[in-house]
Structure 1
Amino acid sequence: MSEWFTVEQIERDTYAISEYRHWEEPHCYLLLGARRALLIDSGLGVADIGRVVRELTPLPVLLATTHAHWDHIGGHHCFAFEDIAVGAQEQEWLAGQFPLPLSAVKAELLRGETAFPPAFDPEQYRLYQRGAAIVLKDGDAIDLGEREVEVLHTPGHSPGHLCFYEPQRGTLYAGDLVYAGCLDAFYPTTDPLTFWRSIQRVHALSPRRVLPGHHRLDIPAELVGEIDRAFAGLWARGECRQGLGVRDFGAFQLHL
Structure 2
Amino acid sequence: MSNWFTVEKIDHLTYAISEYKHWEQTHCYLLIGEKTSLLIDTGLGVADIKSVVTDLTDKPVQVVTTHVHWDHIGGHKYFNNIIVHEKEESWLNGKFPIPLKIVKSNLMKEPCDFPKDFDLDGYTIFQGRPTGILKDSDVIDLGGRKLEVYHTPGHSPGHICLYERSKGYLYSGDLIYEGTLYAFYPSTNPSDFMNSVSRMSKLNITRILPGHYSLDIPVTLINEIKDGFSNIYSAGNLKQGNGVFKFSHFNIHI
Fold shared per TM-score above 0.5: yes
Q: Distance in 2 between matches of 1:230 and 1:21?
A: 30
Aligned partner (choices 211, 219, 224) of residue 213 of structure 1: 211
What are the residue-to-residue correspondences of 1:36-185 with 2, within 5 Å?
A: 36-80=36-80, 83-185=81-183
Q: What runs of 5+ residues in structure 1 fail to find an aligned partner? A: none
Displacement after TM superposition at 1:54 (Å): 0.5
Q: Distance in 2 between matches of 1:44 and 1:193?
A: 28
Alignment-mate amino acid for residue 154 of structure 1 = T
Displacement after TM superposition at 1:111 (Å): 1.4
Q: Distance in 1 between matches of 2:237 and 2:182?
A: 15
Q: Distance in 2 between matches of 1:240 and 1:99?
A: 23
Q: Distance in 2 between matches of 1:129 and 1:110?
A: 21
SS of 2:117's partner is: coil
Displacement after TM superposition at 1:9 (Å): 0.5
SS of 1:68's partner is: coil
Q: Distance in 1 between matches of 2:104 and 2:229?
A: 32
Q: Distance in 1 between matches of 2:127 and 2:76?
A: 9
What are the residue-to-residue correspondences of 1:9-28 with 2, within 5 Å?
A: 9-28=9-28
Displacement after TM superposition at 1:182 (Å): 0.1
Structure 2 equivalent of residue 249 of structure 1? 247
Identity across the alignment (%): 53
Deviation per CA, 1:1-51, whole angstroms, max 9, x where unpaired? 311000000100000000000000000000000000000000000000011
Q: What runs of 5+ residues in structure 2 fail to find an aligned partner? A: none
Alignment-mate amino acid for residue 128 of structure 1 = F
Deviation per CA, 1:123-151, whole angstroms, max 9, x where unpaired? 11011011211001100000000111111
Structure 2 equivalent of residue 229 of structure 1? 227
Q: RMSD between aligned alpha carbons?
A: 0.6
SS of 1:58's partner is: coil
Alignment-mate amino acid for residue 122 of structure 1 = L
Deviation per CA, 1:55-82, whole angstroms, max 9, x where unpaired? 11000011000000000000000001xx
- TM value normalised by structure 2: 0.99
Displacement after TM superposition at 1:232 (Å): 0.8
| Alignment coverage as a number of residue pairs | 254
Structure 2 equivalent of residue 193 of structure 1? 191
Alignment-mate amino acid for residue 59 of structure 1 = K
Question: Is 2:21 the partner of 1:30?
Answer: no
Q: Distance in 2 between matches of 1:73 and 1:35?
A: 24
